[in-house]
Chains A and B, each alone.
Chain A
Amino acid sequence: MKIFSFHLRGKMAHFRKYYSNSSALSYFIPPRTTVAGILAGLLGRERDTYYHEFSLEKCQIALATRAPIKKCMQKLNLLMIKGDRDFNGSAEYPSQTATEFIIPHNLQKGYIDYQIWVVHEDDKVMTKLENLIKKDFVGYFSKGISVALGTAYNLGWLEKGRLIEGKEIKATTVVNINSVIPQKKCVEIVVDEVADGQYRLIKEEVPLEFDKDRKITPHGLGNMIINLTGQPVKVNIDSFVCLENGENITWME
C-alpha cells in the first residue's frame, strides 16, 4: 500500500487531555483526532465537517515520537472568557491557568519531532496531501490553517513529506515497532537486553475518532504505548505494517 509520511515539528506543544479542566494537562502525543484535524486544516476543510472523512474506517494514521520529549508546567494568564464580548480583553481579572507543555529535552537546541504516516482510502485526498507537503522546503503548506502543535500559539511546521510503500502483516510475531503501539494489539513487550535509557514507556488513552456530530464513538478512545525516547520498542504484536525502509509501524486504532 502507498503510505504518505511526513514530520510534524515545533518547539512546544500542548494537546489538552479531554478530561482536564481548570488545569490544562496535555498528552505526550497528538491524539489521532488532532492529527486528523491538522490534515483537514491543511486541505482547507471547514471546522466540524471532516470527522466522517477521517474516521477509523476511511483513514489510517500512525505516529512516532522521533526526538526525546518531556513535559513542563507553566501558568498562563488567559483572558477570562465568559461570553463573546470578553474577547477584547476588557474583563477585569485574567484566569491563571496551569498548563502542561510538551517540550524537547533540550529546549534551546532541540525540537519536538513527530513522524506521521497516513493512508486514506480516497486517492484524491492522498494526492492533495502529497501535493501540499511533498516539497523541498520546510513550511506550513496549508490551505486552511497554520500548522500548530495543539493550541494555536504552539506553531509548528511540516517537513520531509514523501510517499513510501508498506505491507500489512497479520501474524503474531516479535518485532521492533517504531510508532506508538495500541495496547490492544500488543501481546507483550520484550524488555530483555534493553540498553539503559532506551525505553521510557508510558501508556496514554487518547481520542481516536468522532462521529459526524463530533461525539466520541464506541471505538473512539484507545490506550497507546509510547516510548518517549523516540527509540523503537521490541514487542510481540498481532499485526503491523512493514515499511520499505525496514521500519515497522502500527496504526492508531
Chain B
Amino acid sequence: MNLPQLTAYIGKNANVGGNNEFSSLIKGLKVKLKEEDLPYTVFLVFDLQNKEINFEVKDEFKEKHLDEYYYFGNNSAAAAQYYLVRESNSLKYLLGKVWTDLYQTLSRYNLQDREMGQLLKKLADQSYIFINKKDGWGINPDKLTIIKEQPQLEVELLSNSVKIKAPEQEEKKLNYESFIRLFIKDENKHNRFVLVVPVVKMESGEEVVLSTHKDYLELVKLVNNLGPSSSEKKPGEKEKVCYLCGRTRTDVSSKYSKKFSRSGINKIFTTTTINTSPYLRDFNYDYVYATCQECYQKLLAGEKIISERFKGRIAGEDVFIIPEGLFGNFDYNHLYKLKKDIDLAFQISKADEWLQQLETGAMGDNLNQYALNFIFYRSDGNSVTILETIEDVPVLRFQRILEKLAEEAFKLQAHLRSMSIGHIYRIIPVRINRQGEQLDIGRVLSFYKALLNGEQVKAGNLFSYAVEALDKGLRQLSKEKIDNFINLNLRRYQNGYEDFYIKNIIMRYLVLIHTCQGFGILDKKVFGGGERMNEEITTGSEKVDSAIKNMEAFLYRQGLCPEARALFYVGVLLYRVALAQWFKEHKKKPVLKKVHFQGMNQKEVYQLYNDLLEKLRQYNRWSLFSEAVMNRFHHYYSGNFERKWPLSEQANVFYIMSGYAYMVGTKAPDLTPEEEKAQEDIVPEEN
C-alpha cells in the first residue's frame, strides 16, 4: 500500500467528468436536519440602496448551492478566515473577522486594488464593514435592519451566539439561526436557514454575490495552490524531484501539505513538523517528502473523495477502506462498489446474505485483481493517529473468510443463526473509558488483521477472549445498568436472557476457532482430536439415550478432544443445576458463581464437578439423564490426576461453558413438567 499514490490516483480519477478546479475544496453541510425540516439558503445583503444590512431568503437549499456559491467551510486552526460562504452556525465569522481577513489576504497577494478590493474598501468607507478589526464585530451592527427599525436595541456578538437587549425587556441570547430569523421574521421552526451567502446590492440595484466574484475565486486559487502551475524554470530556481510523479520540477515543495485537512487521510503524510527535518534544523522538509503542485492538487481532490466515499466505521472506529489494483491500472468506480460491499460485509448479520449479494452483483468477476487496505484511525479534528493498518488483503481472501464463517455457522445451525465477520467485534470484550473511547480495541483490530492477512493467532488468546467475554458480559448483565463493554451487545440479553448470551458467545467462538483452524493460522491444532463414540449408551430410557447420542454427535462434529468432551459434560450438569435453581426462584442461577471465568485448573474443575453432584442431590435432580452424563464425563476424564492435562485453564472454562451453551434451548430429557413449562417461558433470542 502506498497511501499518497493511492490518494492521488483517486483524486486524479475523481476529477474526470465535469468537476471544476474548486471541487476539492467544496465541503458538504454539517448541519443535521430532521425529516420535517425545510432548509433554505439565505443572503446576507449589504444593501447600498437602503443603506442597511439585512438577511433575505434566497431559495430552498439544494446541494448544488454548495458548488454554485463555493462553500469551502471554515478554515482550520489559526488560518485566515477569509472564506465568504458559511453555514448559519458559523455565522460568527461573517459577522466578525471574515472581512478583515479577506482584505488582508487580498493585500498579501497584491489583489487589493482590483474590483473586489475596491468594493470592500467602499463598504468599509460607507461603514458597512470593518477591514482592520481583529476581534468583535466585522460588520457594523448599527446598519442591521433590526437596529434601524428599533434604534434602542442593543446587540452584542458573543462567541457562539448574539445577545439582544430590547428596552424594558430581559436580554436574550440567540443562536445564529435564531438571529437570522429576526430578520426574516419566520416563526416556523421547521424552516431552517442553513447556508449564508454575502451579497452586495449596489446603488444601481445590481446584486454582486461576493463568493462568485472572479477576484475572490482567484484569491482562493492562489492561496490553495489550485489551477495550473508554472513549470517554466526561472533563473536561479532549483529543480527537485516530486515524490509522487517522479518528475523534476521547480514547483516541488512540502509547503503544500499545510493545506491538507487536519483530519483527512493526507494528514498522515503532512511533513511540516519539526521531527521530519534533518538534524532538528527546522528546514529541509523537502528532503523527506515533497510534491509538485499538480500532484498536490490530486492529493487534495483524493482526500475529499476518500473522506466522502471511502470512509467507514468498523468495530466502532473510523476507517479508510481503500481498494487497490494489484497490478496495472484499476477502475475508480469499481473501487467504490467494492468499498460499499466491504462495508456491508461488516454490518450485515449473515455472511451468506452478503455472499449472495456478491454473486448477483457486478463485482464478482473482477475480484482477483483487487486488494483491500484498511486504515483504522482516530482524529480529534487536529491530528490523525493510526490505530492499525491492514494492508493488501486480496478481495478473494476476504470472500473466502466470509464463506468459511458461513459454512462453520451452518454446521451449528441448531444453536446459532448466523455469523459474519462483523460479529467478531461483538464477541471480543472491549472496555471503554468515561469519554466512550474504546481502550483495548487493538485486540479486535489485531485479530481482524491476523485473519485477513493470514498471520498466526494463538489459540490460547481466543480461549482467553471467550471466557473474558463471558466474565465481563455476565457481570454487566447482573448490574442494573450496563455501563461498559457496549460492543458485546448486552442490552438484548438483559432481564433473564443471560443463558442466550452464553450460548451466543460460545457458539460464535466455536465458529471462529474452526475458521482460524481452517485457514491454518492457529499456532496449534485445537479441534479434530476425538473419535466417534464406539459403544452406544443403553440406559433403559430412549429419550436419555437419544440425548446422549446427539451430544456425542455434536462433539464428534466439532472435533473435541477427550478432555474437552469431559468438560463439556460438566457443563451439561452445570446447566441442569442452573435450570433447577432458576425453577426454584433463584433467578440469578447462583451455581454459575462457582465457575471462575479467569480460568480453572484441573483440580478446580473436579471440585466443581463434585459440587454439581451435591447440588443435583440437593435439588432432587439425580436422574437417569444426570447419571448418563456423569458416565460420559468419567469415560473421557478417566479420573487420572497424574496425566498431563493438555488444556489451559481458560480452555477448561470454555469447554465447560460449551456444554452449558449446548443445553440452552435444548430440552433435557429429565425435565419435570413444571420445569419444562418454565423453560418454555424463556423465549429464545434471535441470534
Instruction: Give me the interface of A with B, judged by CB distance under 8 Å.
Output: 18-23, 25, 70-73, 81-84, 98, 100, 105-106, 183, 186, 189, 196-197, 200-205, 214-221, 223
Residue pair A71, B383 in contact (C-beta under 8 Å): no
Residue pair A98, B327 in contact (C-beta under 8 Å): no
Residue pair B280, A84 in contact (C-beta under 8 Å): yes
7 nearest interchain CB pairs?
Answer: A19-B269, A23-B386, A202-B392, A70-B455, A205-B2, A105-B456, A216-B241
A105 to B240, CA, bound (A): 40
Residue pair B240, A22 in contact (C-beta under 8 Å): no
Residue pair B386, A25 in contact (C-beta under 8 Å): yes
Residue pair A21, B280 in contact (C-beta under 8 Å): no
User: How many residues in B have their beta carbons less than 8 Å from beta carbons of A?
Assistant: 50
Using CB atoms, name the residue of chain B closest to A205: B2
Which of A71, A201, A205, A217 has a CB less than 8 Å from the CB of B241?
A217
A81 to B281, CA, bound (A): 12
How many Å from the CB of A33 to the closest CB on chain B?
A: 12
Residue pair B456, A197 in contact (C-beta under 8 Å): no
Q: Can you list, as one digit per residue, whether each of B204-220 has a CB less than 8 Å from chain A (1) or not (0)?
A: 00000000000000000
Name the A residues within 8 Å of B449 (CB-CB): 71
Using CB atoms, name the residue of chain B closest to A229: B454
How many Å from the CB of B238 to the closest CB on chain A?
A: 10
Name the B residues within 8 Å of A221 (CB-CB): 243, 246
Which of B270-278, B478-486, B608-616 forms part of the interface with chain A? B270-278
Which of B371, B383, B392, B450 has a CB less than 8 Å from the CB of A22?
B383
Which of A81, A186, A205 has a CB less than 8 Å from the CB of B280?
A81
| 30 pairs, CB–CB < 8 Å, chain A vs chain B | A18-B289, A19-B3, A19-B269, A19-B289, A20-B3, A20-B269, A21-B268, A21-B276, A22-B273, A23-B377, A23-B384, A23-B385, A70-B453, A73-B442, A81-B274, A83-B280, A84-B280, A105-B455, A183-B327, A189-B327, A197-B520, A200-B454, A202-B392, A204-B2, A205-B2, A214-B278, A216-B243, A218-B248, A219-B246, A220-B241
Residue pair B446, A25 in contact (C-beta under 8 Å): no
Given contacts A71-B391, A216-B243, 5 further A-B contacts (CB under 8 A): A23-B385, A70-B453, A106-B523, A202-B1, A218-B248
Name the A residues within 8 Å of B288 (CB-CB): 18
Q: Is B5 an interface residue (CB 8 A)?
A: yes
Residue pair B241, A23 in contact (C-beta under 8 Å): no
* A19-B327 contact, Cβ under 8 Å, with A73-B442, A81-B280: no
Name the A residues within 8 Å of B38 (CB-CB): none
Using CB atoms, name the residue of chain A closest to B272: A21
Residue pair A100, B270 in contact (C-beta under 8 Å): no
Q: Is B387 an interface residue (CB 8 A)?
A: yes
Residue pair A21, B442 in contact (C-beta under 8 Å): no
A20 to B288, CA, bound (A): 10
* A106-B246 contact, Cβ under 8 Å, with A22-B273, A202-B392, A215-B287: no
Q: Can you list, as one digit per residue, whether each of B502-542 has a CB less than 8 Å from chain A (1) or not (0)?
A: 00000000000000000010010000000000000000000
A203 to B274, CA, bound (A): 30
Name the A residues within 8 Å of B3 (CB-CB): 19-20
Residue pair A21, B273 in contact (C-beta under 8 Å): yes
Q: Is B4 an interface residue (CB 8 A)?
A: yes
Name the B residues within 8 Å of A204 (CB-CB): 1-2
Using CB atoms, name the residue of chain A closest to B269: A19
A172 to B608, CA, bound (A): 70
Which of B248, B268, B273, B324 has a CB less than 8 Å from the CB of A23?
B268
Which of A19, A183, A218 has a CB less than 8 Å from the CB of B268?
A19
Q: Is B389 an interface residue (CB 8 A)?
A: yes
A70 to B278, CA, bound (A): 29
A216 to B392, CA, bound (A): 26
| A-B pair number, CB within 8 angstroms | 106
Q: Can you list, as one digit per residue, whether each of B283-300 has a CB less than 8 Å from chain A (1) or not (0)?
A: 000111100000000000
Residue pair B273, A72 in contact (C-beta under 8 Å): no
Which of A73, A82, A106 has a CB less than 8 Å from the CB of B274?
A82
A102 to B453, CA, bound (A): 14
Q: Is B326 an interface residue (CB 8 A)?
A: yes
Which of A82, A200, A220 has a CB less than 8 Å from the CB of B453?
A200
* A203-B456 contact, Cβ under 8 Å, with A23-B385, A83-B280, A98-B386: no
Q: Is B247 an interface residue (CB 8 A)?
A: yes
A213 to B383, CA, bound (A): 31
A82 to B389, CA, bound (A): 28
Q: Is B52 an interface residue (CB 8 A)?
A: no
How many Å from the CB of B362 to the closest CB on chain A?
A: 23
Q: Is B388 an interface residue (CB 8 A)?
A: yes
Name the B residues within 8 Å of A203 (CB-CB): 1-2, 324, 326-327, 392
How many Å from the CB of A208 to the closest CB on chain B?
A: 11
Using CB atoms, name the residue of chain B closest to A104: B456
Q: Which of A106, A215, A216, A218 has the most CB of B within 10 A?
A: A216
A205 to B5, CA, bound (A): 9
* Interface members, chain B 429-453 (any A CB < 8 Å): 442, 446, 449-450, 453
* A22-B385 contact, Cβ under 8 Å, with A205-B5, A214-B287: yes
* Interface members, chain B 1-43 (any A CB < 8 Å): 1-5
How many Å from the CB of A246 to the closest CB on chain B?
A: 27
Residue pair B243, A98 in contact (C-beta under 8 Å): no
Name the B residues within 8 Å of A201 (CB-CB): 326, 392
Residue pair A106, B456 in contact (C-beta under 8 Å): yes
Residue pair B2, A215 in contact (C-beta under 8 Å): no
A205 to B324, CA, bound (A): 14
A185 to B499, CA, bound (A): 60
Using CB atoms, name the residue of chain B closest to A18: B289
Residue pair B385, A98 in contact (C-beta under 8 Å): yes
Name the B residues within 8 Å of A214 (CB-CB): 278, 287
Residue pair B384, A22 in contact (C-beta under 8 Å): yes
Q: Can you list, as one digit per residue, whether each of B230-247 has a CB less than 8 Å from chain A (1) or not (0)?
A: 000000000011010011
Using CB atoms, name the residue of chain B closest to A223: B2
How many Å from the CB of B164 to the closest CB on chain A?
A: 43
Name the B residues within 8 Å of A22 (CB-CB): 267-268, 273, 383-385
* A25-B389 contact, Cβ under 8 Å, with A81-B275, A216-B241: yes
Using CB atoms, name the residue of chain A closest to B246: A218
Residue pair A73, B389 in contact (C-beta under 8 Å): yes
Name the B residues within 8 Å of A105 (CB-CB): 455-456
Name the B residues within 8 Å of A100 (CB-CB): 389
Q: Can you list, as one digit per residue, whether each of B313-327 has a CB less than 8 Å from chain A (1) or not (0)?
A: 000000000001011
A197 to B288, CA, bound (A): 36
A23 to B387, CA, bound (A): 9
Name the A residues within 8 Å of B289 (CB-CB): 18-19
Which of A21, A215, A217, A223 has a CB less than 8 Å from the CB of B270?
A21
Residue pair B454, A197 in contact (C-beta under 8 Å): yes
A189 to B327, CA, bound (A): 9
Name the B residues within 8 Å of A218 (CB-CB): 241, 246-248
Residue pair A18, B243 in contact (C-beta under 8 Å): yes
A81 to B1, CA, bound (A): 29
A220 to B286, CA, bound (A): 14
A105 to B275, CA, bound (A): 31
A216 to B5, CA, bound (A): 16
Name the A residues within 8 Å of B2 (CB-CB): 203-205, 223
A197 to B268, CA, bound (A): 32
Using CB atoms, name the residue of chain B closest to A226: B392
Name the A residues within 8 Å of B371 (CB-CB): 202
Q: Which of A19, A72, A216, A220 has the most CB of B within 10 A?
A: A19
How many Å from the CB of A63 to the closest CB on chain B?
A: 18
Using CB atoms, name the residue of chain A closest to B286: A215
Name the B residues within 8 Å of A216 (CB-CB): 241, 243
Name the A residues within 8 Å of B273 (CB-CB): 21-22
Residue pair B268, A73 in contact (C-beta under 8 Å): no
Name the B residues within 8 Å of A220 (CB-CB): 241, 246
